[in-house]
Structure 1
Amino acid sequence: MRRTLALLGTAILVLLAGQLPAAATPAQSLADVAGCQSDKRPVVLLHGTFKKSGWSWGGLAPELSRNGYCSYTLDYGNGGLNPVADSAAELARYVDQVRASSGWSTVDIVGYSQGGMMPRHYLKFLGGAAKVNALIGIAPSNHGTSQPLAKLLGATFCPACGDQASNSAFIRRLNEGGDLAGSVKYTTITTRYDEVVTPFASQHLSGPANRVTNVVLQDACPANLSEHLYIPHSSATIKWVLNALGRGGVADPRFRPCG
């Protein structure tokens, strides 16, 4: 079964790569950047590799709005293909724009796959730790993936794929000295059925309970069958994100979003 899922994930990635547009859409927002006002910290949403914001956040963005959040989306890195460090530099500029527009000194970030890992480069190396309150990663590639396709694509047209391979120079540097940056708080939301970022436990972060919660969907919802492509759309994931945001960025590990 695991081999079948791995092969399926590889096939899906190849298919997505073949459908990728030549250039990504410029930075855009699901909220009215100039007009959205809220007493809650703004939320920046970041898609994954081979993705764009419209695909990733059709479920979460409306729920954020209904719960009083202003959400801002960034289509970065030519569909997430560019070197991760370059995309992190894009994020640095975008966070400053959101801070200026919203009047908040800090933002919360919710990222999917590469979008859940890439901000950690910004936090650690580009001054982002002073501008970000929390990072919530959905199936984030925090310690890379063991999928061999990552190295193959990294050697061809997707530098970010190579960066996300397990034990790549980028991943080693990112995690050297520990997983956390500054006083930022973290939540990771993962699935045991992830066939893209493998092993799934490599997505978890190490740190004290007052700063880090690692959530496995099936621990809370045993019947949840979400895998890598579906996890950002799962209602359980969306509820976990809202739980984490409502608690300052660190989800309650006792929370049960199903049933």
Structure 2
Amino acid sequence: MSIRSLVAAACGALAVLASVVVGAAPADAAPTTTRVLLIPGQYLPGAVFQPMADNLTSRGYPATALDLRGFDMKKDAAAISAAVDRIHRQHPGDRVALVGHSIGGVSARWYLKEMGGADKVATYVAFGSPQYGSPGACGQQAGPEVCPGTPFLATLNAGDDTPGPTRYYGVRSAREWVDGHLDGGQCRVSPIPANESLPELGLEHTFEMIDPKIWDVTVAAINGQCRGQFVTEPDGVLTYQKSTLPGAPGHR
């Protein structure tokens, strides 16, 4: 056999071997699915998030709205933990995205940072979340831990706000009390223009979950797209006072 024939035979054998190795991952293997947990804020039942859940599901991201009322942040974080574990049991290999509104984004971050959830969640999106506190929580039965200066917030915001491999996104509408910024690596999407279907009554925060612009930004985040600016902020720079926006009580 000539040298040319030997080379051709060897190349053929390598091609067969390569096809066997590549064949270990079938061409028609289903792509990884990202499953979304929607986390309400104060007083809002999960049913309010059903339009958003339906929209995300129709776009290929099966979404479920948790029925949490925001009265006890750590209790809600435990419920989020149980829901994430349930998804991983039922759909091994799928990714999980947490999408929290208002203080729902804060309880979700307690799960990520204080309960080891960052190792289980691919994407975290918080819209309208008072990460360093909101005066709206002071004196309230729901989420009083989010009143600025509480031990809960001191613990949550000590050290890196964005730990682990999770990708962090902060979103807010044009009229909010606080900016929702985190230190560490975060994509900041702000401000989303006010929902034109609403009069200027300051209700954009309450109805962010039915704003299609929020839905679009959420889908972009799940796909790893930053529709704003990616910022790496050093620990210790952010405070409640620096997070307030015009219109917030006590803003100067």
Residues 110-159 of structure 1: CA distance to partner in whole angstroms, max 9, x if unpaired? 11111111111111111111101111011112111023xx2212xxxx2x
Cα distance in structure 1, aligned partners of 2:208 and 2:223: 20
Establish whether residue 69 from structure 1 lines up as the match of residue 46 from structure 2: no
Name the SS of the counterpart of 1:119 in structure 2: helix
Name the SS of the counterpart of 2:174 in structure 1: coil
Query: Match for 1:67: what amino acid?
Result: R
Residues 194-229 of structure 1: CA distance to partner in whole angstroms, max 9, x if unpaired? 2xxx3x22x112233xxx2111134xx478566211
Residues 33-64 of structure 1: CA distance to partner in whole angstroms, max 9, x if unpaired? xxxx9742111111111011111x23311211
Cα distance in structure 2, aligned partners of 1:223 and 1:100: 38
- Using structure 1 for the length normalisation, give the TM-score: 0.69
Cα distance in structure 2, aligned partners of 1:215 and 1:73: 22
Cα distance in structure 2, aligned partners of 1:167 and 1:40: 39
Map of 1:34 onto structure 2 = none
Q: Paired residue for 1:252, among 219, 227, 235?
A: 227
Cα distance in structure 2, aligned partners of 1:222 and 1:235: 11
Cα distance in structure 1, aligned partners of 2:211 and 2:122: 24
Cα distance in structure 1, aligned partners of 2:40 and 2:189: 19
Establish whether residue 241 from structure 1 lines up as the match of residue 218 from structure 2: yes
Map of 2:246 onto structure 1 = none
Map of 2:5 onto structure 1 = none
Map of 1:180 onto structure 2 = 162
The runs of 5 or more residues in structure 2 that have no matched partner are 1-29, 230-252
Cα distance in structure 1, aligned partners of 2:104 and 2:54: 19
Establish whether residue 192 from structure 1 lines up as the match of residue 174 from structure 2: yes
Q: CA RMSD in A?
A: 2.2
Establish whether residue 214 from structure 1 lines up as the match of residue 206 from structure 2: no
Contact 1:146 1:165 in 2 (8 A): yes
**CA spacing shift, 1:38–1:233, aligned 2, 3 Å:** farther
Establish whether residue 47 from structure 1 lines up as the match of residue 36 from structure 2: no
Cα distance in structure 2, aligned partners of 1:80 and 1:183: 26
Cα distance in structure 1, aligned partners of 2:190 and 2:63: 25
Map of 1:161 onto structure 2 = 143
The runs of 5 or more residues in structure 1 that have no matched partner are 1-36, 255-259
Q: Paired residue for 2:70, among 80, 99, 105?
A: 80
Query: Match for 1:43: what amino acid?
Result: V
Cα distance in structure 1, aligned partners of 2:205 and 2:132: 16
Cα distance in structure 1, aligned partners of 2:213 and 2:82: 31
Query: Match for 2:150: what amino acid?
Result: S
**CA spacing shift, 1:121–1:222, aligned 2, 3 Å:** closer
Tell me the number of residue pairs that the alignment of Structure 1 and Structure 2 aligns: 195
- The structure in which a higher percent of residues are strand is 2
- Using structure 2 for the length normalisation, give the TM-score: 0.71
